[in-house]
């Protein structure tokens, strides 16, 4: 069974299937990469909780930066957020994001709590 949560015509914020949670890409507010990454991770945590998961259950993360020069700044926030011993498989690349003010977008796949 596929469960879709917070669904609009364009997308669902959360899709659950066979014990796996898929989140749509999340962005954050703020002027700096640090602020946007912190806000983005807070949003991810909230969505994971709604889906019956959490940061320790993340299987994969795909991180898009508008500028790879921000890699270290984003990683400082990411590294402090990821629970010890629970680092997911992760990729990070540079891409033009949906709006010019966006500096980071993160896409998450996680396991449900069982």
Q: What is the pLDDT of residues 10-34, one digit of tens each?
A: 999 999 999 999 999 999 999 999 9
Got the DSSP string for the chain?
A: -EEEEEE-SS-EEEEEETTEEEE--EE--SSSHHHHHHHHHHHHHHHHHHTT--GGGEEEEEEEES-GGGHHHHHHHHHHHSPTT-PPEEEEEE---SSTT--EEEEEEEEPP-
Q: Residue 91 is part of which domain span?
A: 2-111
Q: What is the pLDDT of residues 70-114, one digit of tens each?
A: 999 999 999 999 999 999 999 999 999 999 999 999 999 999 997
Question: Tell me, what CATH number does 106's domain have?
Answer: 3.30.1330.40
Q: What is the pLDDT of residues 30-63, one digit of tens each?
A: 999 999 999 999 999 999 999 999 999 999 999 9
What pLDDT score was predicted for residue 114?
74
Number of structural domains (the chain) is: 1
What pLDDT score was predicted for residue 14?
98
């Amino acid at each position: 069974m596929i469960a879709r949560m917070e669904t609009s015509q364009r997308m669902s914020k959360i899709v659950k299937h066979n014990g796996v949670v898929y989140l749509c890409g999340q962005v954050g507010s703020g002027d700096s990469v640090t602020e946007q990454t912190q806000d983005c991770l807070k949003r991810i945590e909230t969505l994971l909780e709604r889906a019956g998961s959490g940061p320790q259950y993340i299987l994969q993360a795909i991180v898009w930066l508008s500028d790879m020069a921000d890699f270290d700044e984003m990683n400082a926030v990411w590294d402090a957020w990821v629970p010890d011993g629970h680092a997911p498989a992760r990729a990070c690349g540079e891409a033009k994001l949906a709006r010019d003010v966006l500096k980071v977008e993160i896409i998450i796949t996680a396991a449900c709590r069982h």
